[in-house]
Structures are given as structure tokens and as C-alpha cells.
Amino acid sequence: MDSEVDIITTPKGFHCNLCNTNVPNKPSLDEHVKGRKHQTLTNVRATRTAQEECSVFVTGLQKDTSQTQLTEYFQQFGDVADGVYAIVQFGAVGGQQAALCPLVHQMSGLRLRVKPREKKGFKLVNKKKMDFKNLQEVLERLRPVLGQAGTLAENKKTARELLVQLIHEVFTEFFPDSQILPFGSSVNSFGIHSCDLDLFLDLENTKTFQARAKTSTEPVAEASSDDGRSEDSILSDIDLSSASTAELLDLVAAILKKCVPGVHKVQVVAGARLPVVKFHYQELDLQGDISINNRLAVRNTRYLQLCSWLDPRLRPLVFTIRYWARQKQLAGNVGGAGPLLNNYALTLLVIYFLQNTSPPVLPTVDQLKTMACEEEECVIEGWDCTFPSQPIAVPPSKNKQDLCTLLAAFFSFYATFDFAGNVISLREGLALPVTSFLSQARTVTPEADTKEGEPPRQTPKLGPLNLLDPFELSHNVAGNLSERSQHNFQRECQEAEKYCRSLQYLRKSAKGKPWGLVRLFTPHSGGLQSPDGSADKETTISIPFKLALLPEVLRNQLQLAGDGFRLLWFQRVCAAVVQVFQHILKFLPGSSAESAAAAEGTGPADGEAASGSCDSMDASWEELDMSGDSTAAGSGSPPSAPPAGSKRPLPSEGGDTSPAPREKKPRLGAGPKAGSPRWTWSQTHTVWAGRRKVRRELLKTAADSRPEGSNEELEIQVTDHMVGKEPPLKVPLVFRVQARLVGATQSTKVQLKLHPPSEGKEHFRDLFHFLEIFLPKMVDTLMEKGV
């Protein structure tokens, strides 16, 4: 091509488009055109153009088609100079033209699509010379292994490794100097041969490469192209430093789809916390994920690996817990998203437990940091990820407990763990009360503090189970858990703990039943049983602690209350419960005497009871004994008002992790007595039966589609409507409700026990089922509003 077309005049002299170079005047231009760079590029361009003219692009090949077969087939149209994947390059233009003539190409029974190779204007792209030799080598080695993959686990492992190598080879063709780094169970020593293949495409070096290429003057030959889009355009089309994750993932997906044989079902999942490209590798029936911003995962994989090297008991324990959790439907989110624990979270729960055995089996992450040498210092995205690379740097544990003992201890550890009230930190090997954690998060300036240009650090998403990532301290790895899954996890731990104390677990007596571990792994039968099998649970409603839901003001107050936060929260919940019964559902509060009278049909007149005019009446509080598993409130809580409707100050309950003897329990404020508030409620209208229908009717005139229990005003209207329209019961329904704070030795929650009345049991049962859903939802709504 004539050099002149490459040169344009600029206000400052001349610009050579081919070399992307400016020169100030004519003599310099002449020198440039004669120079090595311009000459080399001109030659490269000429060669490339000739190659393009001699090449065709082929699609529709069978996935196991070899390059030899491809070459053999196209030999009939002319001498094939080269065949790389889908590009067939002939020795002369005639071959290409001949190959384009037939209307139908068929090979191994499949119809091929053959089209001219895209002709692309030559650009200077500083790119490593593409070399497909490695790729072919990997493919050749992969094929025989894949043939036997189904038979041997060892072969599967080799096949996985080769697949990773193949993907690596393909990606380096498009992204010079990039790396494919496996992480997760396939490399952290906790994998089974069917586990997913998690890959991190590290583009950091490619970014440097691209930045250098932009300023460098060295010409670099280009690569082949695929259908409709030139691979060799990738680095010239996309600026890696400014491209969005979605753009990059689309590119990764396109490369996977078009250039990695055997890969199917490629799908970009951009909405996840960590966006990925998912794919399926059919021969190995393998599910894979490729992410591009996941350096921390590669590092935490190394950490898990180190932990498993440190103590041989960790691996079997993790496998056992993972299997148990899967059998009990506590783990295994389909497609990676869902409300259950993931394997990573389960593994961290096991490690945290092992940090807390006596003596500890594993050191804390902070302790590990002190054992690392200077070269092992590692900070990723501002998070300190320093730990020794070799187990030799860490002294062995003095703990000699056997696996069976540790397994049983794992269950009892979590059977009585306050998940909602604490934040688990593997760094410190501690569970911090959520409120202390939040105040720390505000005041402490960790190494991970925001650096210039980085997004501000978030506090982790707190929920029913708070388990901090050991490195990325703003990430709650169990943040996806729902109340129910946390509850189920704890319930199954309680069940397992009970079983581990039995003779069957200890293998002393089988009594004809499955024994040992087998029984532990009995699949979850579905349906919720009570952990202790007591009838009590049948009429108990739980209201779990949900810090994230509370308004800022209340969160601050809880924070100030320190360890006493549970009690303060309990008071607010009780106030909200009173509000739901009294103001929303229009129940009448009454003393025991009134209740008894009402139960006998001599209580307040029906009309009165239903009118909701109970402003002057307080719910009655009766002091009860502390129940066994409620614990003492921490000291230092601010005195606060008793909940609405209470006649006595609230009892002090729930608090730090060590239950204090009863008489020594710290008091809240000016010495309230220990106990549980109790109310008696009565209602002459079944405001729970057919409530949804009334609500739907009322909603026809109101533009509100929120679910039941999320709109206070609407619920009051529904009750008023029902009370006004429906006939009263002959005998009012009277029953008692007793509130109890649970925490410290279980997940923080309020338990409301409803005592069935002697009369109207059927109405009571319906009411209970209604309240089971409605009451926690309505309390949440009121708490959110700040009752």
C-alpha cells in the first residue's frame, strides 16, 4: 500500500496513521517513511492483506474436528498453508475463491458455513505474537483424557487441569499476558471431583500491556479472526482500563462460546455481587464460572488451603459438615443464588469453631499475620491478606481431640450461638455483639480504609447470620441467609447435638436403628418439628432481631446500650406487640380477673370490646419467673421507658454470652425485676378470619399493593371494617400472651407464647395461625417506622 495514504497533514506537521506517529516537517517525514518501523509495518500489512485474501472462515465444525481433518477437507480447493481453528488459509487467492464456490460444504455429516475472512484495515496493535501451537497441543492432550473422564477420578482431575490450560491458552490469544487462576473448591483442598470450576481471569498484566502498547512504537503482528468480529480487534476495540465489567464479561462470553471447543450454555450473570460468565463443559459435565474482579477469592482460596495443611482434621470435618448441611437442606443454593449457606460460608463456620476450641485447633487470621514474613505481606483492594505461605511457619495445635468429639462439639457450639446478635470475625477469632461491631466500624480506621479514588468502604450487610469474610471485612458471607434458613441451621445443630450425646452416636447401642454418622446424615424429611419436641412450640411465635431493618435513631440507641442492646430492643418489640393487638387488631387488654370473667361470658359488653375504645386500659403485666435459657442483660444499658401498656418496668433478660447467677443479674435502670411481660387480650370479633378478602376489597379503592402487615393504616381500616360489619362472638375469645427475650445462647429473638383459652379453642387455633405470619410482619413494620 502506498505510504502516502498513511500520511496526513496536521497543524503541527504530519501524522502517520500507520505508525500512529507525529513528525514536525517534511525532512523528518521522509526519514520516518524510510525508517525501520514504517517499513516493517508496511510489510506486515502487506502480508496480512495477502493472508486475508487467501483465507476463509469456517463455522459449524464438529467439536472434535482436528486441524488435520480440516486441512484435508479444504485441500480439495487448493494448497492449505495453515489451518487454525476456524481459519483456513490457502497458499494462493485461487484456493480461497474455489472454497467459496460450492453452495454446500459437508464434513463428517455436518453442514459447514464457509465465508471470506473479514478484511480489516491494518492497525498498529502492540500485541504478543499469537501462537496457536500451545492451544493445539493442549487440545490433543485433552481428547484422550476426556475419553476416559467418566471412569477415573484421577482422569477427571487431569482433564480439569487441561481444560483450565486450554481456557488459559485461548484467553491469552485475545488478552496477552492475562492469567486464568482457578479458585474455590477445585483447588482449596475441599473439593470433590464433581465440584464447580471457579476461574478468575486476571487482566491486570493485559492492562499494562495495552497501556504500554498505546505509547510504544514497536509493531506487533496480529492474530486470526473469527466470524464477523476480528479477535485481533479486541485490544484495539476495547480499552481495558475504562471498560465496564459488563462489557468485559460480554467479551469473555463471546470468546468462550466461539473459541473454546466443548463449551456450552454460556451465560453472563451480571447482576450478582460478583458478576460472572457461567458455562458448561459437556464432556466432563462440569459447571464453570469465570469472573474478572476476584483477586480476593484467589487469596482466600490460599488461606483455606493453608488451614487444611495446618491441621489434618479440618478437611474431614468440613466434608462431614458440608454433607450434613446438604442432607438437611441447609446448603446448596441452586445456581449459586438463594437463601441457604454456601460452601465457603460453611467452611468458615468450621474454621471459626476450630479457632474457639480449647485449646484452639487453628489460629486466628490476626495471629497468622504475625507469623508471616515480609515477602508474604499482601494487600488486595485495600484489605490485608497477609498470612504465611507455608504451614511450617505456624506452630502445631495442642488440641488432641478426635474427629468425633470435634464434630459433636461443632454442633453444640452453634446450637447455642446467638447468630443475630453477633458478628463472627475469623480475623480475631471472636464474636462481637452487633452493636459493638457497628460502633467499631464507625470509629476504627483499618488498613482497609478508603484510599483515594476507591469507592467508600461499606459496612457489611447484617442479617440473621453475620459471618465476616476473613479478608474483605465489609462482606458478610452469610448475608444471603433468610431468617428461616438461619433458624433451620440452628435447629439442625440442636438436633445433631442431641443425637451426638446419644448411645447410637457413640456406637454403644444401635437399637436396630441407623447409628454413628449414618443417622446424622438422614435427609431432612421436610416440615418443621420443634427442636425439643415440646408442645410449647405449637403456640409460640418468634420475632427475630433484625438490626438492618431498624431506623437509624434506634440503631444508635442500641449501639449506646452496648451489651444491653437486647433488652432495649425487647422493650421496643413489646411496645410494638401491644400496638398490634390493641390499636391495629382492636383487642381489649384486661386484667386476669376481667379475663376470667370474660372467658365466662361476663366480661365487657360485646359492643364495648369491639369498639376499640380501650385507650384508658392498659395491658396487664404479670411477673413471671425467669425461664431457664434466658440470660442476663449486660450492664451499662440506659434506663428506658417500659413498653406501652405495661404497668411494671420490664424485666432484665438476654445479654452477654455468660449466663450470670440469677440473684446477680445486672439490672436495667433502677432495678427492675427479672421476669417476662404477660398480657391478657380479648376480642369478640374474629378479625383474623377472612381478613385477606376484606383487605382486597378495601384495596380496590386504595393504590397500595404492599403485602399484609406492611401498612398500619390499612390494617386498622380492615379491622374497623370487620368489627363494624361482622356479628360478634357469643363468648369473647380471651387468652394470655407471654413475651420472653432469648439471646446470647440462641439467636436473639422475642418469643411470644400464646396460652390457649379453656373456651373457643378452634377460634384460638385460627387466630394463632393468622398471628404467626401477621404479628412478626406488623411488628417489623412498626419497628421500621420507629414505634
The contact set with ligand UTP (CB under 6 A) reads 183-185, 188, 190, 195-196, 198, 296-297, 300-301, 342-344, 477
| Shorter beta-carbon distance to ligand UTP: residue 196 or 618 | 196
Contact 208, 214 (CB under 8 A): no
Say whether 390 sits in a helix, a strand or coil: coil
C-alpha cell, 738: 407471654
Shortest Å, Cβ 383 to ligand UTP? 11
| Shorter beta-carbon distance to ligand UTP: residue 342 or 571 | 342
Phi, psi of 30 (to 5 degrees): -60, -40
Phi-psi sector, 453: left (phi>0), alpha (psi -120 to 50), beta: left
| Shorter beta-carbon distance to ligand UTP: residue 235 or 346 | 346
In angstroms, the CA 118 to CA 49 distance is 10
Q: Burial, 525: exposed, middle or buried (Cβ in 10 Å; 0-12, 13-18, 19+)?
A: exposed
Q: For residue 64, give the amino acid letter.
A: D
| Shorter beta-carbon distance to ligand UTP: residue 125 or 187 | 187
Residue pointed to by grid coordinates 473479514: 118
Residue pointed to by grid coordinates 470509629: 443
Say whether 494 sits in a helix, a strand or coil: helix
Shortest Å, Cβ 336 to ligand UTP? 7
| Shorter beta-carbon distance to ligand UTP: residue 146 or 331 | 331
Shortest Å, Cβ 547 to ligand UTP? 20
| Shorter beta-carbon distance to ligand UTP: residue 304 or 783 | 304
In angstroms, the CA 478 to CA 466 distance is 6
| Shorter beta-carbon distance to ligand UTP: residue 84 or 296 | 296
Shortest Å, Cβ 373 to ligand UTP? 24
Shortest Å, Cβ 19 to ligand UTP? 45
In angstroms, the CA 126 to CA 211 distance is 10
| Shorter beta-carbon distance to ligand UTP: residue 424 or 561 | 424
Closest residue to bound ligand UTP by CB:
184
Shortest Å, Cβ 195 to ligand UTP? 3
| Shorter beta-carbon distance to ligand UTP: residue 301 or 579 | 301
In angstroms, the CA 614 to CA 623 distance is 23
Residues 6+ apart with CB under 8 A from 403: 313, 316, 317, 320
Shortest Å, Cβ 184 to ligand UTP? 3
Shortest Å, Cβ 84 to ligand UTP? 34
Cα angle 416, 417, 419 (rounded to 5 degrees) comes to: 145
Residue pointed to by grid coordinates 459447571: 287
Say whether 157 sits in a helix, a strand or coil: helix
Shortest Å, Cβ 333 to ligand UTP? 9
In angstroms, the CA 17 to CA 332 distance is 56
Strand-strand pairing, 286-291 and 197-202 = parallel
Shortest Å, Cβ 307 to ligand UTP? 12
Shortest Å, Cβ 470 to ligand UTP? 10
In angstroms, the CA 433 to CA 449 distance is 22
Closest CA to 425 of 377, 477, 361: 477
In angstroms, the CA 377 to CA 678 distance is 57
| Shorter beta-carbon distance to ligand UTP: residue 477 or 558 | 477
Closest CA to 130 of 250, 233, 21, 264: 233
Contact 176, 274 (CB under 8 A): no
Please measure the distance between the N-terminal and C-terminal CA atoms of the chain and give it in whole angstroms: 80
Contact 252, 290 (CB under 8 A): yes
Shortest Å, Cβ 185 to ligand UTP? 3
Contact 748, 654 (CB under 8 A): yes
Shortest Å, Cβ 171 to ligand UTP? 20
Q: Which residues pair with 200 in a beta bridge?
A: 181, 291
In the Cβ-directed half-sphere of 428, how many Cα atoms lie within 13 Å? 10
Shortest Å, Cβ 454 to ligand UTP? 19
Other beta carbons less than 10 A from residue 241's beta carbon = 11
Say whether 438 sits in a helix, a strand or coil: helix
| Shorter beta-carbon distance to ligand UTP: residue 296 or 632 | 296
Angle formed by the axes of helices 36-54 and 93-100, to 10°? 30
| Shorter beta-carbon distance to ligand UTP: residue 118 or 196 | 196
Shortest Å, Cβ 608 to ligand UTP? 57
| Shorter beta-carbon distance to ligand UTP: residue 191 or 651 | 191
| Shorter beta-carbon distance to ligand UTP: residue 195 or 430 | 195
The dihedral sign for the CA sequence 390, 393, 394, 400: positive
| Shorter beta-carbon distance to ligand UTP: residue 342 or 488 | 342
